[in-house]
């Protein structure tokens, strides 16, 4: 096993903690002291054992310039001769955030990975301790780096923290360090400690010097998987290329064969996970169309008839670029179409535009709008996210809208962060701040606008799932519930443990498939317990994840977006349009 710096936690160590602040009487400290032994760690659920401990290091045999096992391990500062704290944290913002943590422990029961494994270093408090040591110049082992990668980035700890610790900035920085690490085959240097390299990345504004990464490089396989994901998912045209093979796999039953362990074990776990959560696609057969206009006074296009299950993606007509308001115009809004949303859930965009128009909004949908950068930002690829942000800012600046309505929680959260992402870029900082100020979640915007369209009865029971980047990152929980409860005949069933992540978390269910599956099954069991007719979510990733987990539990339930429910009520559709089992 490669040696570490003294004091750097390994994969089983508990972070030593100072006494809790007298103002924060949270759960007791897990760290032990001679006078105060540590309480026992909560046992992991028998059904959810943690991932196996990382295998021992397989570093190459020591060569010139490489430390032998008998040599004392050098810190990153000693190895590179650089001031790491100033390189990693030039403004001191990260060190300040680390210092804000009073070790109260309120974040522990809110953290999904701590719930799964009961491991201190897989909690926000443990990761903060680890990041603090990295800022002090430590270099992490592979096992310690895995604790960073196991974080979902769900931000439940932000809601739970009484001290306002900016864990989002800390974990975002740590993920950017992980992405900066070069792989062994990329090593071009021959100097001392050649395994500690300078990164080739840059800050979001493109001006910051590349800094040495305190985290070890990811495996070649892991980097190739992530490269494939980020070469595909942020680009709708490329993503559409997957629709044909996916439909073929579903028609031949290949996806259902994943239930057999033999086939699943032969596939790469990332591919097996992708097939499991993929949406059920409509069979590619000639689609009847209706010619009645969906968009009064707008460009008319033939559009397919809505299938009985709105949770299944279908070939839907793309909304026109401009949709006039019905009745008195109350606002001019832009609408983000998204990447996954427009490819796999086009009916959600259609419903969103129609609801906004019914509520008196002129809706502008700029052509050629690209990815918002949410997936990249969530994975610490800040330079990539900044590039997407600049292009989207330019697109909506040309549109000249009062607000930008976003129907995907992850996208909305990322766009509201543009102000911080581009804060140090003098050319873009003000433009980013202006756009962020206009961004509103679909439910947030409608709640502030107030109702105008008539609501017709929908006698169904709905379980509403709080997407993490809506509830925790944007702090929006009341608005979607109020909009649902304003529909006559609709009742709301609260999901037990409502604030816990479902395991989707950007690309988490692809790169950490076992942990994501465990969390998904927990969430699906909680949804099933409600006895609801319909699950409603404001994020496409959550909809895919929970629908897949419900199928595993053999408790399938229709899944819809809030916009689809409101659209059905506005148009006086029968409940059977949302819930096929309901009489129509």
- In this predicted model, what pLDDT tens digit does every residue of 45-87 receive, in sequence order? 444 444 444 444 434 343 333 333 334 444 445 544 445 556 8
Please tell me what DSSP assigns to residue 36. S
pLDDT band at 561 (very low <50, low <70, confident <90, very high): very high
Backbone angles phi, psi at 388, to 5 degrees: -60, -40
What is the separation of C-alpha 572 from the centre of its chain, rounded to a whole number of angstroms? 34
| CA gap 73, 155 in Å, rounded | 34
**Is the separation of the CB atoms in 48 and 515 below 8 Å?**
no
What percent helix, strand, coil does the chain show, rounded to 5?
40, 5, 50
- pLDDT tens across 299-319, in order? 333 333 333 333 444 444 567
How do residues 410-468 score in pLDDT, each as one tens digit? Answer: 999 999 999 999 999 999 999 999 999 999 999 999 999 999 999 999 999 999 999 99
DSSP 40-54: PPPPPPTT-PPPPPP
For 349-401, the pLDDT digits (tens) are 999 999 999 999 999 999 888 899 999 999 999 999 999 999 999 999 999 99
Higher local confidence (pLDDT), 58 or 224? 224
Residue 331 and residue 402: Cα distance in Å, rounded? 7
* Residue 226 and residue 98 in contact, taking contact as beta carbons nearer than 8 Å: no
Pick the range with the lowest mean pLDDT from 95-104, 169-178, 300-309. Answer: 300-309
Q: What is the DSSP letter of 575?
A: G
* The pLDDT value given to residue 583: 73
Distance, CA of 69 to chain centre: 40
CB-CB neighbours of 216 under 10 Å: 23
* Coil, helix or strand at residue 265: helix
322/443 Cα distance (integer angstroms): 21
Mean pLDDT value across the chain: 77
3-state secondary structure at position 544: helix
**What pLDDT does 100 receive?**
96
Q: Torsions phi, psi of 450, nearest 5?
A: 90, 155
Q: Per-residue pLDDT tens for 235-289?
A: 988 988 887 777 776 677 665 655 555 555 566 666 666 666 666 654 433 333 3
Strand, helix or coil for residue 51: coil
Confidence of residue 4 (pLDDT cuts 50, 70, 90): very low
Per-residue pLDDT tens over the stretch 477-518: 999 999 999 999 999 999 998 889 999 998 998 899 999 999
Q: What confidence score (pLDDT) does residue 278 get?
A: 63
Phi, psi of 294 (to 5 degrees): -80, -25
Spatial neighbors of 568 by CB under 8 A, at least 6 apart, are: 458, 577, 578
Q: Summarize the confidence of residues 537-543 as an average pLDDT.
A: 91
Q: CB neighbours of 86 closer than 8 A, spacing ≥ 6?
A: none
Residue 222, judged by CB atoms within 10 A of its CB (0-12, 13-18, 19+), counts as middle
Confidence of residue 291 (pLDDT cuts 50, 70, 90): very low
pLDDT digits (tens, 9 = 90+) for 437-452: 999 999 999 999 999 9
142-169 average pLDDT score = 94
| Domains of the chain from N-terminus onward | 17-51+68-184 (1.10.1060), 222-277 (no CATH), 289-577 (no CATH)
Q: The whole model's pTM is what?
A: 0.76
CA proximity to 50, closest of 118, 126, 136, 101: 118
- pLDDT score for 108: 96
Measured CA to CA, the distance from residue 385 to residue 372 in angstroms comes to 8
* pLDDT value, residue 63: 38
Strand partners, 405: 335, 440
Helix (H, G, I), strand (E, B) or coil at 212: strand
Bridge partners of residue 439, in order along the sequence? 404
pLDDT greater at residue 129 or residue 21: 129
Nearest to 446 by CA among 287, 305, 330: 330
| Lowest mean pLDDT, pick from 78-87, 118-127, 159-168, 258-267 | 78-87
Query: Is there a contact between 447 and 479 (Cβ–Cβ < 8 Å)?
Result: yes
pLDDT at 114: 96
The model's confidence at residue 204, banded by pLDDT at 50, 70 and 90, is very low
Mean pLDDT on 29-57: 42
- pLDDT score, position 24: 44
Q: How many CA atoms lie within 13 A of 260 on its CB side?
A: 8
d(CA 232, CA 153): 21
């Amino acid at each position: 096993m490669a040696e570490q710096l003294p004091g750097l936690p390994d994969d089983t160590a508990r972070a030593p903690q100072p006494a809790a602040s007298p103002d924060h009487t949270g759960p007791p400290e897990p760290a032990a002291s001679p006078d105060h032994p540590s309480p026992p760690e909560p046992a992991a659920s028998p059904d959810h054992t943690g991932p196996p401990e990382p295998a021992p290091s397989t570093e190459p045999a020591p060569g010139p310039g490489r430390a032998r096992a008998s040599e004392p391990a050098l810190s990153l500062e000693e190895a590179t001769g650089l001031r790491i704290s100033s390189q990693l944290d030039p403004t001191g913002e990260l060190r300040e955030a680390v210092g804000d943590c009073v070790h109260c422990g309120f974040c522990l029961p809110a953290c999904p990975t701590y719930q799964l494994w009961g491991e201190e270093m897989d909690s926000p408090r443990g990761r903060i301790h680890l990041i603090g040591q990295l800022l002090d110049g430590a270099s992490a082992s592979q096992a310690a780096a895995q604790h960073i990668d196991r974080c979902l980035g769900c931000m439940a700890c932000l809601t739970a923290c009484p001290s306002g610790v900016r864990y989002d900035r800390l974990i975002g920085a740590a993920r950017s360090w992980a992405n900066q690490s070069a792989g062994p085959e990329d090593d071009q240097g021959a100097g001392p400690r050649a395994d500690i390299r300078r990164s080739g990345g840059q800050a979001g504004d493109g001006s910051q010097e590349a800094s040495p990464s305190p985290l070890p490089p990811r495996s070649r396989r892991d980097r190739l998987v992530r490269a494939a994901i980020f070469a595909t998912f942020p680009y709708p045209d490329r993503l559409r290329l997957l629709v044909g093979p996916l439909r073929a796999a579903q028609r031949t039953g290949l996806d259902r064969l994943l239930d057999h362990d033999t086939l699943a074990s032969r596939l790469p776990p990332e591919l097996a996970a992708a097939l499991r959560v993929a949406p059920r696609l409509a069979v590619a057969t000639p689609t009847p169309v209706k010619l009645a206009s969906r968009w009064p006074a707008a460009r008319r296009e033939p559009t397919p008839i809505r299938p009985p299950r709105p949770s299944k993606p279908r070939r839907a007509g793309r909304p026109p670029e401009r949709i006039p308001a019905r009745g008195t115009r109350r606002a001019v809004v832009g609408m983000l179409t998204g990447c996954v949303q427009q490819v796999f859930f086009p009916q959600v965009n259609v419903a969103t535009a129609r609801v906004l128009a019914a509520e008196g909004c002129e809706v502008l949908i700029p052509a050629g709008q690209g990815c918002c950068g949410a997936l990249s930002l969530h994975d610490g690829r800040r330079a990539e996210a900044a590039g997407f942000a600049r292009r989207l800012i330019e697109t909506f600046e040309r549109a000249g809208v009062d607000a930008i309505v976003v129907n995907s929680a992850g996208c909305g959260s990322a766009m509201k962060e543009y102000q911080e992402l581009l804060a140090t870029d003098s050319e873009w900082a003000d433009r980013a701040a202006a756009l962020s100020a206009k961004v509103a979640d679909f439910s947030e915007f409608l709640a502030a606008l107030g109702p105008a369209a008539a609501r017709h009865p929908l006698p169904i029971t709905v379980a509403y799932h709080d997407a993490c980047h809506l509830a925790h990152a944007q702090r929006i929980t009341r608005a979607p519930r109020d909009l649902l409860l304003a529909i006559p005949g609709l009742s709301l069933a609260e999901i037990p443990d409502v604030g816990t992540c479902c395991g989707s978390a950007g690309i988490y269910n692809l790169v950490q498939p076992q942990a994501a599956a465990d969390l998904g099954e927990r969430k699906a069991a909680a949804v099933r317990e409600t006895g609801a007719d319909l699950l409603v979510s404001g994020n496409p990733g959550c909809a895919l994840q929970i629908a897949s987990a419900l199928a595993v539990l053999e408790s399938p339930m229709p899944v819809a977006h809030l916009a689809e429910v409101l659209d059905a009520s506005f148009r006086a559709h029968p409940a059977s349009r949302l819930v096929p089992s309901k009489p129509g």
